[in-house]
Amino acid sequence: MTEPQTLTLRPGGPADAPAILRLLDDATAWLVARGRSGQWGTEPASADPRRVAQADAWARGEGLWLAVLGDRPVGALVVGAATPYVPPATEPELFVNLLVTDRAYAGRAIGGRLLAHAAELARERGLGLVRVDCYAGGDGALVRWYERQGFTRTEPFVVERPGREPWPGQVLARRLS
């Protein structure tokens, strides 16, 4: 009988861009299979040059963290500055730019563990606020998931996308003690 693998977190680097894209591709396929294409569309991130460039930039930056089981990345967290379409914070913050997990490992609290790590990083930097934005369309399940992780809804917003449906978003905040 094999021992269950322990989830570990490690900083990411340039070689991890393919892992980010795999996680995004798998999550997109999972969403599409459930009729929930509004969040990330229907096409793999790895087939979109803009998303490939974004994954490369995240991997080269200093805000990438990976959740790993054995040697397999099963979650990715990117923290840094808020994206331009999000209403600005009124105080210094750590912003979650990406949170994605491998749905094959659902139920292991990987996303929650990565968000707890984001809170630890914020505390280490002397920050009392972590914010995230997420897709607020469909049945609102993602917003409710973040609320279960200790976040509170703040500003809703809409990203207008020429030639495509607008993307409804929600900013959520978590105050740290």
Please report whether residue 169 resides in a domain. yes
Residue ranges of alpha helices (H) inside 40-133 are 49-60, 110-124
46 Cβ neighbours under 8 A, 6+ residues apart: 21, 22, 24, 25, 52
- Strands of the 7-11 sheet, one edge to the other: 7-11, 64-69, 72-80, 94-101, 129-135, 167-175, 152-159
pLDDT at 4: 62
Q: Convert the pLDDT of each residue in 28-65 to its tens digit.
A: 999 999 988 889 999 999 999 999 999 999 999 999 99
Phi-psi region of 150 (alpha: psi -120 to 50; beta: other; left: phi over 0): left
pLDDT band of 2, cuts 50, 70, 90: low
Residue 55 maps to a domain:
yes
In a domain, 2, yes or no: no
In a domain, 155, yes or no: yes
Q: Name the nearest CA neighbour of 176 among 92, 60, 84.
A: 92
* Adjacent-strand bridge partners of 122: none
Number of domains in the chain: 1
What CATH number should be reported for the domain holding residue 122?
3.40.630.30
Which domain does 141 fall in, by range?
Answer: 7-175
Closest by Cα among 39, 38, 37, 163 to 99: 39
Q: What pLDDT was estimated at residue 68?
A: 97
Say whether 39 sits in a helix, a strand or coil.
coil
Q: What does the pLDDT read at residue 165? A: 87
pTM: 0.93
Side chain identity at 171, as an amino acid letter? Answer: V
* Assigned domain for 153 exists: yes
**pLDDT tens column, 3-15:** 568 999 999 999 9
pLDDT tens-digit profile of 102-153? 999 999 999 999 999 999 999 999 999 999 999 999 899 999 999 999 999 9
- State the DSSP string of 4-20: PPPEEEEE--GGGHHHH
Task: Answer whether residue 76 is part of any domain.
Answer: yes
Residue 77 counted as domain residue: yes
Whether residue 1 lies inside any domain: the answer is no
